[in-house]
Structures are given as C-alpha cells and as structure tokens.
Amino acid sequence: MPHEESNPACGRTLRSPSEPARSTSAVTPRADRARRLRAVSVLAVGAVLVSACSGTESSGGASGGYPDRQITMVVPFSAGGPTDTVTRLIAEPMSAKLGQQIVVQNVEGAGGTLGAGQVARATPDGYTVLMHHIGMSTAPTLYPQLPYAPLEDFETVGLVTEVPMTIVGRKDLAPNTLQELVAYVRGNPGGVTLATAGVGAASQLCGLLIERAFQVDVTEVPYEGTGPALTDLVGGQVDMMCDQTTNTTGQITAGGVKAYAVTTPERVAVLPDLPTTVEAGLPDVQVSVWHGLYVPADTPPEVVQALTDALTVALQDQNVVAAMAKLGTAPVAATDVTPQAHSDQLRQQIDFWGPVIKAASPTPGG
C-alpha cells in the first residue's frame, strides 16, 4: 500500500513513487517541489530520506552570513575515481575562500543518480553541493524515471574542468596500437571485456562510441566507479576500459596499463607520445568529460554567487592548476566559471547525447 515517510526534522514529507500528491496545509514550497520529482524506486527515496537527516542539511534557509558552518560536497561516484579527484583538488581552496570546511561525501550508485537525487532534495541553502560530470546531461535519456530534472531541479554554479579520456588495456593485452586493438576486438566478438562505471558514466559513454567505431560488441563489465574498475584492469581481471586522464595518467606513466589513444583532437601534454583517436584512424571516438558544481533549485542567488566566487578562486590557485596539469587536464576558462555558461553547456549536452544514446539503446544495469 502506498505510504508516507514523515521527516519532521527535515521539514518535509517524502512519498513512495506510487502515492498521489496530497493537499495539506503543512506543505512548504520545498516539499511541493520534492513531490513533483519522479522516483526511480522506493529504495532510492529511502536513501534520500536517510541522507536528508544525516546532518548535511540545515533546518532553514541560508542567511546573509553564509556560510557559517561546514559544507558538504557530494560526489555521486566512488572515492578515488576521476570526479572524486577533481573535487578534492578544488575543495581546499574553496574552503579557504569561504572560511568554512568543505567535506567531500561519496554517494555512488545508479550511474550517479543516487547522489544527484540526494542533492536535488536537499535544503536549498548552499550547504549541500553537487559535483557532477557529463553524466548530468545523459541521465534524462538513460533513465526515463529519473527522480530529478537537471535543468529544473538544480541551480548551476559554474564549470570546473574538461578532462580528456584515454583508451587503455591491461598491460599484457596482445595489441600494441589502436589499429591492432580494433583488429583484436573484431577477431574476438563478445570475448573482450570492457570495464565501465555503469550506465550513464563517462566510461560507459566512451564505450558506446568505441563499440560503434569498432563495429563489434564487447562484453561490458560494470563497476560502482572507475576507481575499482581501474584496479581490476591493472590486476588483469578485465581487458580494457576508457577513462579520464585524471584516473589513468598515473598508471599509464607507471606502466600499470597499456595506453592506446586519447579521445581528443589534440594530444595531451602530460602524455605526449600517446596518439589521438583521430591520428589512429577513429575520428568518431571523440569525447571529453566536463565537470560542474550544482546546488538545489531555489538556492538564494547570493549563496550561488558566493560558491561561484569561491570556485573561481580555486581554479586560479596555482597548486590546483599544477595538479590538474599532471593529470592531463586544466581548469576551464574564467568565462566558463559562471552559472550561465554552465547552464548553457548542460542544455547543449543534453541535446547532443540524447540521439546518441537512443541509437545505442543502453539500459540501466545492463
């Protein structure tokens, strides 16, 4: 039977997906918006309910003294992965600018939708922030019952970085060039394993382009994040993967994996000997992963601006610039560290990836 889960401490009520909306004098604008969010499952709603009372939200809106306590920055992927790495790079200088500690919280699962859903339902006061990547633009197509609408249920804060991706294999995989890898995969249809972080993850999107370019199926092995996926690739449990330079550069330079190409039109400075997919004859395999910060819709403009200002300072920090360079990436241009530039990018990427994903017909959990 449909039921409600009351959460007085959080100031709102969450419903199971099958419950119709009710009219009640106790409903706040925030609760009304939460009701309009579609739920994937009761489990997801329950997860959000638990997180809402975990201390990452406040009982009221932000004041002019923002911030006056700790800020939680949610990463919807596993610790040690590329998005987590980028988040932790900017968290410290942002904390210094804001004058309050930023704690990174990993809420992985369901292709990043669990963590994003948690933030969508958080109190819009600036104390719960989301770092997400390209997956924010692909989720609407991949998940018909997505429990949030990216363009409606979040305020954009600013873009952070755009990271190249690399095609890598276990170090003892027979092919030594991308052309040889194509031939190897075509000669073993369905026999080559491709590690990904699950449907909607950047690694899986790159995998879709690889399969289309190789004109043959590979066996996808989904993980809860590219951190554990890369660990298994280094250990030889899977054959290949496509992942961001922020996650693979260290293993490439150390010889832990075999690198075949970078998926951008130009070579990456930190990996100068690694050819591009264009140079290797696969111009259709081009993808980079952009990251941005979000807060729940209805967050006060002055709070969003404070976070944007802190992000701007963080991306100009020379330690951050140097660390990103070692990982094969760089901060975005200063003109892109704005809510409007971020919003424009999100809208454009939703329009771009929709047809690509529909043509490939991937399914969550598959």
Query: Where are any strands of DSSP class E within 205-300?
Result: 219-222, 240-244, 257-262, 288-296
Provide the pLDDT confidence category of residue 40 given band limits of 50, 70 and 90. Answer: very low
For 276-308, the pLDDT digits (tens) are 999 988 888 888 889 999 999 999 999 999 999
Same topology, domains 62-160+291-360 and 163-288? Answer is yes
Superfamily of domain 62-160+291-360: Bordetella uptake gene, domain 1 (3.40.190.150)
Write the single-letter amino acid at 309. D
| Span of 60-69, 142-151, 333-342 with lowest mean pLDDT | 60-69
Global pTM? 0.70
Residue 226 confidence (pLDDT) above 80 = yes
CB 155 within 8 A of CB 299: yes
| Mean pLDDT, the chain, whole residue set | 82
SS3 state of residue 215: coil
Superfamily of domain 163-288: Periplasmic binding protein-like II (3.40.190.10)
User: Backbone phi, then psi, for 6, in 5-degree steps?
Assistant: -75, 145
User: Which residues 6+ apart lie within 8 Å of 318 measured at CB?
Assistant: none
Rounded-to-integer distance, Cα 152 and Cα 124, Å: 13
| Span of 21-30, 121-130, 162-171, 181-190 with lowest mean pLDDT | 21-30
Alpha helices in 160-201 (DSSP H): 178-187
Regarding predicted confidence, which is higher, 40 or 140? Answer: 140
Rounded-to-integer distance, Cα 90 and Cα 160, Å: 9
Domain ranges of the chain: 62-160+291-360, 163-288
User: Which residues 6+ apart lie within 8 Å of 141 measured at CB?
Assistant: 350, 353, 354, 357, 358
Residue 21 confidence (pLDDT) above 60 = no
Rounded-to-integer distance, Cα 347 and Cα 354, Å: 11
DSSP state at residue 221: E
Residue 255 confidence (pLDDT) above 70 = yes
Q: What's residue 51's pLDDT?
A: 39
Cross-strand partners of 177: none
Rounded-to-integer distance, Cα 41 and Cα 82, Å: 28
Nearest to 87 by CA among 157, 147, 141: 157
Query: Where are any strands of DSSP class E within the chain?
Result: 4-7, 12-15, 71-75, 102-106, 128-132, 154-170, 193-196, 219-222, 240-244, 257-262, 288-296
The top-scoring range by mean pLDDT among 17-21, 59-63, 69-73, 326-330 is 69-73
Q: What's residue 352's pLDDT?
A: 87
For 151-199, the pLDDT digits (tens) are 999 999 999 999 889 999 999 999 999 999 999 999 998 899 999 987 7
SS3 state of residue 145: coil
Mean pLDDT over residues 345-366, rounded? Answer: 78
Question: What is the percent of the chain where pLDDT is above 90?
Answer: 58
CB 303 within 8 A of CB 295: yes
| Span of 5-14, 58-67, 123-132 with lowest mean pLDDT | 5-14
For 304-347, the pLDDT digits (tens) are 999 999 999 999 999 999 999 988 889 999 999 999 999 999 99
